[in-house]
Amino acid sequence: MLKAHAIIAKLPSFGCGLLCTLALVAQPVSAQISLWKLGGSSLQWSENDTTRLFIDFASAPGSIQPIYLTPEQTVFAHLDNWVFWRNPSDIVLGYVDGETPRTWKWSDGLAAPNGSLLIDGDPATYYPPRAVPLEREVYTMDLAVAVPAVAFGFTTPSQGFRSDGTPLQTDAIPGYDVSIASESEQPIVAGTLEPLSHIIADVDENFEPRVEIPFPRRYTRFVRYRRQVSILDEDFLASFVRSQYREAPPGTLAEFELFAQGVPRKVIYKTKITDLGQSVNFGQLFWRTSSLRMVDGVAVETPDAAVGIKIEARTGRDEDPVIYHEYQQTGFERAVTRERYENELRTRQFRPNLEAPIITLDPRPGLRASISYDAENWTFWSVPFTEPGLPLNLRSGSYLQLRITLESHSFDDFIRLDSLWIETAPLLAGDIVGEVALRDDPQPARGFTEVALGRETDFVYDLRADFSAAAAPGFDGLRIRTGSNTRFVGLEMGKPLAPVEPAEVLEELDGLRVRLPTRVTRSDNPPLRLLFSTTLFSFATTFSGEVFDSEREVLSQPIVSGDAGQALSSNSLRVLGAADAAPGVVQELSLSTPVLTPNGDGVHDRLQISYTLFRLPKAVPIALTVYALDGRRRARIDGGLQDAGPREIAWDGRDENGQALPPGIYLLSVAPAAEFATSAQIRPLGIAY
């Protein structure tokens, strides 16, 4: 057996990105790999989206960037897909928090049947005055994302009269308060009538029909207007007879306005779901951007602009990632088409009129039931990609979608996305199904694989290839990612499984790469088993993997989790840490020397601090903190983002300002920067010169 212990470059991998097909250009890169491109001279962004939240298509044709908001136009004018429920996710089809703006009246739901009147930019449209309690005159607006707001205002109608003949144009709001918030908080999610976290106005006597409330530029996502009791409401309050008011309160609203100066904190662009015509494998995702800053109304290229980009992807096997249900006579649910759900079924919740409470109907035929995600045919959204040139680690598919977020961390900085493209290639097989289990417990009683953290463990990894796809050429290698150093134990193939010698094995920092002795094809498709040993440090690890063709320049194909055969019963690539083994985040802390002597003689001038991180679902910031014996903090050194596993930090005896600590005894602590001190590991250290 040829066995090479080496660290190799990342293989061309699988993934998912979306470049939709209205004007999609496939550019061949090799005989098997093509590029699909969106933006630039290819597909126009403005023709291929399902969600566009504060996206500017016009300023740089062929690219997308955030809208630069100015006080000349209300922010509401840039939004056109409002919904009018406080909690619309189970009621409004397609609502996504953080992507869809919403507005509602009072505490529990609907702004009005025609709720857009107060944000439509037209002061001639309004709600006629009605005899309702003042405490119900509360409006909340959620922009979906935060914008750099500078003023909020409202105005009376430009036409119409009250019942007593008073022109509505002069019917000013006597008393009010206005509050704002940058993110969701309890008064919003709980549906209370309390003001939000930052009050910008509290007025109990007003005579102005048009009100504008300026405030220092501040990121704002939520705005809440509340009508307050004023001394000018005396006649209205006196009209209360037999549990109701006999006249409408003074003050009529026609329009809310919010003004901003700068770039939203983030903007969203989501592509259409695209039918690619056939299932393909996906390689790397690339894009081209420009970082800019608005200076005196001109966009100037600024390499150090405080901006970012996130791209998420998902892939599927049919045209809709959602399953829709209706109620049956029995009260159970059954799947229906989206067309029936949208157009033929009624919602369970409704309000007979504006002031009536929301009514929820009992489950019965003809009513909408749940909406669920089709996880069998669609992947979930990938982790966000923030750098181009990385593999899109999603399974192959024939339907694709991208969600793009352009971020700004400064009021005037923004990022422009010019184009993006992905690698695609034909399938190597229909599906490659894999499952993993402990070598000494292939059929765990609880149905999932469970291991002790920090201890080397033997695993078996079974694979089954499906060749129902036409013209799939097969593969001759596989790669497994465990996230830790991995030792190859053996390879078995055939019916029954029997040991075979692989053509090549590469033990990598995060897994194994194995080249098979024979090619797996439609005509020669034996079961496969890989045996290996590794150490896990996280409570949940997915042993993802892929198969590849070493003889041709093609893309790898992902291994999907499922039932690979009867020998194993986990039906999953997921491995969990044992529930009774819960070590602290930082373990096995050791120092290269008990006494640091940073005097330049080359002996113990630097301290090497070794430790192991456990239970981290993703990379977190790690910090080294140095304390005097009296508990005073003397130094704090940033160790950067670190994943679970063995790690090191080097220290030269200086604090974060570069000043050498005086000689003495100190206590060193290593811990995630966001953790409490009880999660830290502490060791004593002497410093001498």
Residue 566 has pLDDT above 80, yes or no: yes
pLDDT (mean) for 479-485 = 92
pLDDT range class, residue 253, cuts 50, 70, 90: very high
Cα 420 to Cα 215, 266, 285, 379, 648: the distances in Å are 39, 19, 7, 21, 37
Most confident range (mean pLDDT) of 275-279, 490-494, 548-552, 596-600 is: 490-494
pLDDT in the model for residue 111: 46
The more confidently predicted of residues 479 and 112 is 479
- Spatial contact of 70 and 421, defined as CB atoms under 8 Å apart: no
pLDDT of 265 above 90:
yes
How much is the average pLDDT of 366-375?
89
Contact yes or no for 176/199 (Cβ under 8 A): no
Which token pair is 286?
């690339």
Amino acid at 194: E
Whole-number percent of the chain with pLDDT over 70? 89
* Extents of the domains making up the chain: 25-46+267-315+378-424, 75-261, 322-373, 431-577, 586-687
Question: pLDDT digit string (tens) for 570-601?
Answer: 999 988 877 554 557 888 888 999 899 988 88
For 281, 376, 426, 642, the CA distances from 423, given in Å and listed in that order, are 8, 24, 11, 30
**Number of other CB atoms surrounding residue 262 within 10 Å:** 22
Closest residue by Cα to residue 661 from 632, 623, 622, 621: 632
pLDDT at 17: 35
Q: Specify the fold of 431-577.
A: Immunoglobulin-like (2.60.40)
SS3 489: strand
In this prediction, residue 39 carries a pLDDT of 78
pLDDT of the residue at 104: 87
Residue appearing with tokens 């250290």: 685
**Bond before 594 cis per omega within 30 degrees:** no
Q: How far apart are CA 610 and CA 645, in angstroms?
A: 11
DSSP state of 283: E
Residue 649 has pLDDT above 70, yes or no: yes
d(CA 57, CA 344): 36
269 pLDDT above the threshold of 90: yes
More confident residue, 185 or 96: 96
Percent of the residues in the chain that have a pLDDT greater than 90, as a whole number: 52
Residue 545 pLDDT greater than 90, yes or no: yes
Domain range 25-46+267-315+378-424, its CATH number among 2.60.120, 1.10.101, 3.40.50, 1.10.10? 2.60.120
Q: Is the pLDDT of residue 353 over 90?
A: no
- Give the separation between CA 102 and CA 111, rounded to whole angstroms: 9
Q: Which pLDDT band holds residue 337 (cuts at 50, 70, 90)?
A: very high
- 266, HSE (Cβ side, Cα atoms, 13 Å): 17
In this structure, of 377-381, 385-389, 579-583, 588-592, the range with the lowest mean pLDDT score is 579-583
The answer to whether residue 568 scores a pLDDT higher than 90 is: yes
CA distance 20 to 42: 10
Q: Which residues contact 516 (CB under 8 A, 6 or more apart)?
A: 475, 476, 477, 478, 491, 493, 502, 503, 528
CATH level 2 (architecture), domain 586-687 = Sandwich (2.60)
In whole angstroms, give the CA distance from residue 461 to residue 478: 11
In this prediction the pTM is 0.78
Of the listed ranges 67-76, 162-171, 179-188, 295-304, the one predicted with least confidence: 179-188
| pLDDT at residue 241 is higher than 90 | no
H or E element, residue 181: strand 176-181
Say which range, 3-12, 28-37, 96-105, 490-499, has the weakest mean pLDDT.
3-12
Nearest to residue 19, comparing CAs of 247, 383, 311, 340?
A: 311
Instruction: Assess whether the region 25-46+267-315+378-424 and the region 431-577 belong to the same CATH fold.
Output: no
pLDDT of amino acid 289: 96
Assigned token pair, 266: 């983030």
Residues 80-131 have pLDDT tens digits of 889 888 878 766 777 888 999 999 888 665 545 456 789 989 999 988 888 8
State the pLDDT at residue 2. 32
Buried b (16+ CB within 10 A) or exposed e, 487-522: ebeebbbeeebeebebbebbbbebbbbbbbeeebbb
Q: If one looks up domain 75-261 in CATH, what number appears?
A: 2.60.120.260
pLDDT tens by residue, 18-75: 333 333 444 555 557 888 788 766 667 877 788 899 999 999 988 999 999 999 999 9
- What's the rounded Cα separation, in Å, for the pair 270 and 186? 29
Q: How much is the pLDDT for 686?
A: 87
What's residue 295's pLDDT? 96
Which tokens sit at 122? 């037209």
Inter-residue contact 315 to 392 (CB < 8 Å): no
Supply 71's token pair: 């006080």
Residue 5 has pLDDT above 80, yes or no: no
What's the rounded Cα separation, in Å, for the pair 169 and 171?
6
Distance, CA of 374 to CA of 213 (rounded, Å): 47
H or E stretch including 238? helix 234-238
